[in-house]
Structure 1
Amino acid sequence: MKALVLKRYGKADQIEFADVPNPLIKPNEILVRIHAVGLNPIDYMIPKGAFKPMLKFDLPATLGSDLAGTVVEVGSQVTRFKAGDAVFASLFDLGNGSLAEFAAVPEHVAALKPANLNFVQAASIPMVALTCWQALNERIKVTPGQKVFIPAGSGGIGTFAIQLAKYLGAHVGTTTSTANVDLVRSLGADDVIDYKKQEFENVLSGYDVVLGTVRGDGIEKALRILKPGSNVVSLIGPPDVPFAKARGMNFLMTFIFGLLSRKIIRLAKRQDSNYSFLFVRPDGEQLGKISKLIEAGTIRPVVDKVFPFVQAKQALAYLEQGRSKGKVVVELEQR
C-alpha cells in the first residue's frame, strides 16, 4: 500500500511516499480502509524531531494521526465493529500513522462515524475533539457560568473548543483576526477580540479557565485575565513534572521538564492559579460521546481545505503556515 513515510528526523526531504506492507491486525484490532485523514500541527512538528523525547517511533514511520474510513476486517477479539462499518479514530501516540491506504486500529480507540458527516468531515474531528474533551470536560470539569478563554478561535482546536465550552454552559472568550470574527461568533464565542486591533489582556478579565493553544508569551499574558482559583491547561507546553511521571520518563527528563515549566507554574501561583500540561490520548468511548453531540447538531466540524492524497506533503506545508480556518484534511478516496 501507499503511505507517507518519515525516514529521518530533521529535514523536509526525509518525508516521501513509499510502498509499505499492508498492516496485519492483532486480535483486538480492526483493519480500516482509509478514506480521509485530518491533519494536526503535531503532524508537521514530529518530522522536525520536536517530540522525540515524548513520542517513540521506529523509523521509517507512517505520518498522520486522525482517520475516517471503512472496516474491512476485524480481529478475533473485536466485538464492537464489523466489516463495512464506517469509523473514525485517532492513532496518536500509538506508534503507527494514518497517512496510508490502510491502518490497523485498536478497537478501543475507534468509534462509529457520526451519521450526519461524510468521511472528510469525520476525519477532521478526532484529535481536536479528544483534546478539547479531555481538557475542558475531564481535567477542568467546566461548569455552567464559568468563563473560558480559548485563544486562536478560528483554528482547528479553537473552532471545536468554542462549541464544546458553550455546550458545557461556559461564557467563552477568544481571539481571532478581523476576517474570522463572524466565524467564531457563529460558533458561539461571547467575547471576541480582534488581535489586530486590541490586546486581549487589556480587555478581558475575571476568567476561570485558559486553554493554552498559542506559542510564545500567550499563556503568560493570559494569566492577567484570570481570577483567583483558576486553571490553565496548556496544549503546547511547556511539559511539566506530572506529565513526565505519567509517561514513565527517567529522572533526567523529569528534571528537565520541571525546569522548563518552573517559570509558568510560578507565575500562575502568583495569580493563585493552577498550570498543567495536557497530552491527548486516543479514546474511542469519548469519541462515541462526541459523535452523539455532532449528530444532535450541537457541534459542527469546520474544514478549511481538502487536499488529495498525492498532495499530502503540500497539505502539511499549508497547515504549517498557520492560516487555516478550522481543519485541513487529506482525502484518499471519495465515498
Structure 2
Amino acid sequence: MNLFNCQACGQMLYFENRLCERCSHRLGYLPDDDRMHALEAEGDAWRALGAPDALYKFCANAGQDACNWLIAADAAEPLCAACRHNRTIPDVSHPTALAQWRKIELAKHRLFYTLIKLGLPLANRADDPDGGLAFDFLDDPPEGAVMTGHDNGLITLALKEADDAERETRRTQLHEPYRTLLGHFRHEVGHYYWDRLVRDEDRLEACRALFGDERQDYAAALQRHYDQGAPADWQQGFISAYATSHPWEDFAETWAHYLHIVDTLETAHAFGVRVRPMVDHTGDLSARVDFNPYRRGTIADMVDAWLPIAFAVNSINRSMGQADFYPFILTPAVIAKLGFIHSLIIADRRAKTAA
C-alpha cells in the first residue's frame, strides 16, 4: 500500500480515511491516479485539489459509509471500480449487518487496490455474465451456515467472518496461524485467477509441474485433508497445511501470499524501511526496499527483502506480546511457486502492453 497525504494541509492519511483530521477536508480515493484527494464541494459534485480539471462524485456506497472511492461526476454507473463487483450485500437496515459489511468493504477495497495496480483482468458480471468476478456477502440462513468459497468467478463470503470473535474461533478450530478478511479475499480471488491466467491461457502443464494435477477429485481431496490432516513434512513444499489438500488450494494459498508480500513491500518501500540488525555480521538479515514491487523486481528481489522485514516485524510483535506478523516459512519449493505466480502476472501485463 502506498502512502497518502492531504493535498490541502499535508497531513499523512490512511487509505481508509474519509476526512482529514487536521483541516477537515473531505477525502476520496481515485484509482485512476492512485491518490487520495482532498475535495471541495462544487454544486452536487466535488472538485479534487490534486486533479482540478474534472468533477467527481462518490460511489453510491459512500452513502452507507462503506466506500470512499470517486468516480466521474457524469458517470452513468453509480458504483466505483470495486463496488460494481458486488452481487449481493447484506440487509443494511440491520445495524450489526451494516457494521459487518463496512468491515468487509474495507478489506475488499484493499484487495482491489492491489489487483488494479497489478493490472490484472477485472471483468464484472455486466462485462462477463457467466464468469465475471462478483461477490455475495451472505448471513447464515436459519437452516445452515454460509460457506466461504469460489465458483466460476462468484466469491461467497460468510458475513460472520467480519465478527472478530467468530473468526478467531474458526481460526482456532481449524488450527490456522492466520485468518483475516483480507486473507479470505486474497485466497478466493486466487481461484478466479487460476481460471483466467492458467486454464484460459493454456498454462496447465507448467502449473501442474509445480502445484500438482488439479484433475484429481476435489471433494474427495478436501475430505481426506479434513480426516487425515496435512503430511508431517508439509512445510517443505507448501505455504500452509491447507495448501496440501488439493492443487487448486495450493495455488490459491500461494497467490494470497504473493499479494501479501507485494502489498506489504510497497508499504515498506513508501516508508523507506531499512532492516540492518546490529548482530547480523553476514548481512543475511539486512534489507532495504529500494524498488516498487508493483513495477519492477524479480521474485528473488522480493523474497530477499521480505524475509528480513518479516523477521524484524515478527520480533517487534513478540516484544508486544502479540503473535507473529508472518507465521509462515518460505522454502525453495514455495519460492518457486511464488515465482510462477509472479511470471503469470508479468506475462499478462506484457500481453496487454503488446496489444
TM-score (structure 2 length as normaliser): 0.27
Name the structure where strand makes up a greater proportion of residues: 1
Computing the radius of gyration from Cα coordinates, the structure with the larger value is 2
Q: With CA pairs under 8 Å and 6+ residues apart, which has the higher RCO, 1 or 2?
A: 1
Bigger proportion of residues as helix: 2
